[in-house]
Amino acid sequence: AQTGKLAWESKLGPAYGNQKAKLEELLKAKKPEERSYAWWTSPIAVDNKIVVFPNYSGGRSKSYGLKAVDPETGKERWHFRDTINGRSSFPIQVKLEGQTYILCASYEGGLYLVDPRAGKIIWSVTKGLGVNSQTLMGYKNRVLLNTVPPGQARGPAGLYACYEFDLKGAKEVWTLPDKLINKHEWWPDAGAHRKIVIDGENDQIHIVDSKHPKVTPNGKRWRYWLRFKLSTGELIAENSYATDMH
């Protein structure tokens, strides 16, 4: 950082290189009608001793993973497959019993707690969850997750649940009622990180989401602003409005 010189370089998987080459080709050909998909992801530094980032090999099934490298040398410390959507999310750091751990969710419907120092998966939840293609949203030892099974959470099809976790595991605290107003999108460009504010100090979650099939005469679509209790999932307030925003 002091000199700006490249110290080391670590490969992120063939999919990243392929997308970079495709983007350069499109820019060279000046084809604005075509596009190269973006990556909504980033590395994180844990205790300034290890760098962790998502790894993506291409496609969907069994191609996402989590990789850690030594920040001094760039050498791989450990690598887990199928633990995170390496294309559109990055892991979050959580504190448990004074230590930093990594929490992440996979496209296939899994939640994982990882010890980054030991390179060990402490526990995993692989039942009852759905597509989680977003960076996780949470407060302290609670996190919001999608529960709609993989392959069914496109458009207004996802449904939020709150899970509480510790070093022993994670359990569901509440799930929103399965009705249209509570449905939400879970794609990277329209999902949780753009539409949720968690006010943990006041035990509240604000959600601006929920597409409704009703369309106004001027072509706008109804959306909802919802406010829930973080502790119970109880609806505190709701409001609807018409918009042509994505």
Residues counted in the chain: 246
The shares of helix, strand and coil residues in the chain, as percent rounded to the nearest 5, are 10, 40, 50
- 8: Cβ–Cβ under 8 A, 6 or more apart, which residues? 73, 74
Rounded to a whole number of angstroms, the distance between the first and last alpha carbons of the chain is: 39
**In this predicted structure, which of 90-94, 97-101, 178-182 has the lowest mean pLDDT?**
178-182
56 pLDDT tier (thresholds 50, 70, 90): low
Extract the tokens encoding 29: 């050909």
Work out the pLDDT band at 238, boundaries 50, 70, 90. Answer: confident
Per-residue pLDDT band at 234 (split at 50, 70, 90): very high
At residue 22, φ and ψ (nearest 5 deg) are -65, -40
Comparing 63 with 97, the larger pLDDT belongs to: 97
Closest CA relative to residue 141, chosen from 170, 175, 176: 170
Residue 60 to residues 14, 85, 88, 118, 176: CA-CA distances in angstroms? Answer: 14, 9, 12, 27, 28
pLDDT at 215 exceeding the cut of 60: no
* 109 φ/ψ angles, rounded to the nearest 5 degrees: 100, 40
pLDDT tens string 170-187:
999 999 888 877 777 666
Q: What are phi and psi of 20, to 5 degrees?
A: -65, -45
How many helices (H) does the chain have, and how many strands (E)? Answer: 2, 17
Please enumerate, as own/partner, the contacts of 229-232 that have beta carbons within 8 Å and a separation of 24 or more.
Answer: 229/203, 229/204, 229/205, 230/139, 230/142, 230/162, 230/198, 230/199, 230/200, 230/203, 230/204, 230/205, 231/173, 231/203, 232/173, 232/174
- Whether 92 and 138 have beta carbons less than 8 Å apart is answered as yes
d(CA 110, CA 199) in angstroms, rounded, equals: 25
Determine the Cα–Cα distance for residues 17 and 12; give it in Å rounded to an integer.
8
- pTM of structure: 0.78
The pLDDT confidence band at residue 245, using thresholds 50, 70 and 90, is: low
Distance, CA of 120 to CA of 17 (rounded, Å): 28
How many CA atoms does the CB half-sphere of 10 hold within 13 Å? 20
